Amino acid sequence: MIILPAIDLYEGKAVRLLQGDYAKQQHYGDPLAAAKRYEDAGATHVHLVDLGAARSGTFDKATLILVQQIISTTNLMVEIGGGIRAQEDLDRFYDVGVWRCVLGTAAVRNLEFAHEMIETYHDHVMIGIDVKDGYVASSGWTEKETMTAEHFGRVLKQFGLQECIYTDISKDGMLSGVNLAGALALVESTQLKVIVSGGVRDIQDIEAILAKQDEGLSGVVIGKALYEGQLSLTDVFATVRGKEA
C-alpha cells in the first residue's frame, strides 16, 4: 500500500482548504520543510497539489522551482497535480525528475487528451477523480461536471488506466474520516485500483483502508491530520508494516 503525505501549495506556502473552499485556507508554512519532515518520518513519496494553478489553469513556474528543490534535497518520489492542462506541462515536470503527474480538469474535459497521456506515459500518469455529490469536480473543485465519478472511471479503465485517486470533496480538510464506502463503490463499478483521499483523521482510518487492500484500495493520501498533529506519519508506517508483515 502506498502512503502519500500531501502538501497543498498556494502562493508558495503549504496550505489546506476546507472542502475545496479557497476562502477557507489554513497556512502551514514552508512546503520544502514539510517535505523534509515527511522524509525524516519514513516517507518515500509525496503528493503535491498546486491549488493556484488548479483554479486558474495556468502553469506556475514557481511551483516547478519548488519541485526541483524537493527533488534535489530529498530522496522523495514526487507526485504532482494542479493546473496540468497540456503535454508540455507534464514534460516540464518529468524533465526535473517528477515521478508521476496527476490530471484532473484536463482529463475530464478532454477525454481524448486523457487517453493520449495514459498511452504515452502509462503508470507515470495518475488521474484524480474528485467527487462532489456523485459528480466529478474540476477547476480546483470550483465547478461540477455533468459526468459521474463511476462513468468517468469506467472510461479511464477502457483507456488503460489501472489506478486513480478518489477524493470525496465533502470530506477534504474536515478531519471527519474517509468515505470508505464511496471508494469501494468506485472500485466495484470501474475495476480500478483506488487511492483514497480526503478526510483522513486517525490511525483507524489507515487500518480501515489497509483492511480493504484485497478489495482494491491501494493507497492513501494524508494531509491535514499530519499538519495538525492528529496523526503521526511514523505510526502510519509502523501500522502498515505490521499489517503487511
In whole angstroms, how far apart are CA 87 and each of 93, 95, 153, 185, 244? Answer: 10, 12, 21, 31, 37
- Three-state DSSP at 205 gives helix
Q: What integer pLDDT is reported at residue 118 of this predicted model?
A: 98
Average the pLDDT over 151-171 and give the result.
96
> What backbone phi and psi angles, to 5 degrees, belong to 97?
105, 10
For the question of residue 130 being annotated catalytic, the response is yes
How close are the terminal C-alpha atoms of the chain, in Å?
12
Instruction: Return the CATH number at 52.
Output: 3.20.20.70
Strands 135-138 and 125-132, by their bridges, are: antiparallel
> What backbone phi and psi angles, to 5 degrees, belong to 169?
-60, -35
Q: Which of 42-51, 57-66, 208-217 has the lowest mean pLDDT?
A: 57-66
**Per-residue model confidence as pLDDT tens digits over 164-180:** 999 999 887 878 899 99
Strand partners, 30: none
**Who's near 208: CB < 8 A, 6+ residues apart?**
178, 180
Range of the domain at 209: 2-244
Q: What integer pLDDT is reported at residue 13 of this predicted model?
A: 92
pTM of the model: 0.94
**From 89, 130, 172, 205, the catalytic residue:** 130
Q: How many domains, in total, are found in the chain? A: 1
For the question of residue 40 being annotated catalytic, the response is no
Predicted confidence (pLDDT) at residue 95 exceeds the cutoff of 70: yes
Among residues 177, 139, 148, the alpha carbon closest in space to that of 57 is found at 139
- Three-state DSSP at 180 gives helix
**Per-residue model confidence as pLDDT tens digits over 196-205:** 999 999 999 9
Instruction: Quote the CA–CA distance of 156 and 111 in Å, as a whole number.
Output: 8
Average the pLDDT over 84-95 and give the result.
96
Predicted confidence (pLDDT) at residue 8 exceeds the cutoff of 90: yes
Among residues 154, 225, 218, the alpha carbon closest in space to that of 191 is found at 154
* Mean pLDDT, all residues of the chain: 94
**Who's near 214: CB < 8 A, 6+ residues apart?**
none
All three cell numbers of 131, joined, read 467527487
